[in-house]
Amino acid sequence: MISVIYLIFLTDIIGIDPAIAGTVIFISKAWDAINDPLMGTISDNTRTRIGRRRPYILIGGILLLPALALLWLPINAESDFWKTVYVLLTYLFYFSVNTLIMVPYSSMSAEVATDFHDRNKINTLRLVLSLISTAICSLVPSLLFEMVTDNKLDYLTFYFILVFVFGIVFAVPHILIGLFVKERVKAEGEKKKLSLKEFVSPLKVKSFRKLVYLYICQAITLDIASAVIIYYRKYVVDISSTVFLGIFLGVQLIMFAPIYHLIKTKSKTKIYRFGLPLTILAAIGIAFYPQGAPVLPLYIFTGLTALGFAGAQSTPWLMFPDVVDIVTLAREGRKTGTCSGIMTFIRTASSAFAIFLIGLALQFTGYINPTDANPNPTQPASAIFGIRFILLFGFSILMLVAFFISKRLRLSPALSNDIKRLNEKLDEGMELDVEEAEKYLQIKKEFI
């Protein structure tokens, strides 16, 4: 929801210039990026009766509703300066609440079970439910925002739906998780220090660095597409952004079943990259689709893009527990929270910079803000080209980079089982036999 409509909310509803809007998002995401690894280490060090992660998820769930209420308030200050100050402060508050929830929540994905197949089942179910939630929370706000811009829905109704309907839907599950979900991996006795060295220590492990690259490439691609698609719909090609997003997310959801069966026996990195050539080619068709042409071929391109992207979208967090095991094998300790924090830190920092560049690109290509006198301005050719190029960069260039990186990370179910057995013996202080020692050295050379 935030990624789909917040940028255009700032430019077309609040009336902030694209460059300033991009800067607000950049500062807020930079704040979030700093908080993420801090939250990861804090939750790793937490020792409470209900666990390490649950207290923060519970507090964040309670604060989520007021954060959304402030975030979407259509401030009507006379000065652009005070508009900017308000949206910056409310966005900072929202991201602080989001950090309280998401870093501990992501860490729990590796801690609710220790068996390879059980973790795959749990994380696949979590991702399916997450994608269903993403679909609903992207499609409905997108449709409602189209109705607002087409004067079919007043903003007050739109505001109450976002805050109270979606706010309750978001908040209640996290409150229930904080109250009832059990953490099955015991906390280590020794607490970790809050230090920069502690934050970045998992990055010494080459497999973790590669996972971060794979994660941020697909995540930034989605952020860029989500931020730009309503501009694309409104000013470039006359389509329904709701149908566009519906096709994209629907294909992703359908692909979860075959992907779930594949990860039991196939390398997750192969699944990640398998469809990316199709995504790249279809995205080129979307980026340069001619104005005034029939929309059906464009929707077909959208479905093909989503089909190829499904593996990249679904596998990074399925790889996460396996890579955390590799970090543990490197004798860095079981830093699940720190790894999760670093993942979200780098993803958020990269996303912040990407959205900042989108704002600058719109500003410098001559984007015209809507006004009361001219609510639907005709954009210059330079701005339309800028919107097209942004889409092209996200799906084609970033995913081409991800394709080649994925070929250098060869995870497999057999490897994960070997690493689990080695960790168990080393954690218990047992000596490795000759075969296990050779396996350890081989894994260390390639993955650590």
Which residue shows structure tokens 């199709």?
278
DSSP 202-238: GGGSHHHHHHHHHHHHHHHHHHHHHHHHHHIIIIIS-
What does the pLDDT average to over 49-54? Answer: 84
- What is the Cα Rg of the chain in Å? 22
How high is the pLDDT of residue 110?
Answer: 63
In this structure, which topology does domain 2-181+205-411 adopt according to CATH? Answer: Growth Hormone; Chain: A; (1.20.1250)
Q: What is the pLDDT of residue 58?
A: 94
Q: How many CB atoms lie within 10 A of CB 169?
A: 12
What the block records as the tokens of 298 is 């464009």
Instruction: Give the tens place of pLDDT for each residue, 222-264.
Output: 888 888 888 998 889 888 888 888 898 889 888 888 988 888 8
DSSP characters for 108-144?
HTTTS--SHHHHHHHHHHHHHHHHHHHHHHHHHHHHH
Q: How far is CA 406 from the centre of its chain?
A: 18
CB 101 within 8 Å of CB 57: yes
Q: How confident is the model at residue 108 (pLDDT cuts 50, 70, 90)?
A: confident
CA distance 219 to 224: 9
Q: Per the structure block, which two tokens stand in for 340?
A: 């999760």
Asked if residue 272 has pLDDT above 80, the reply is yes
Residue 298 scores a pLDDT above 90? yes
Q: How is residue 371 annotated by DSSP?
A: -
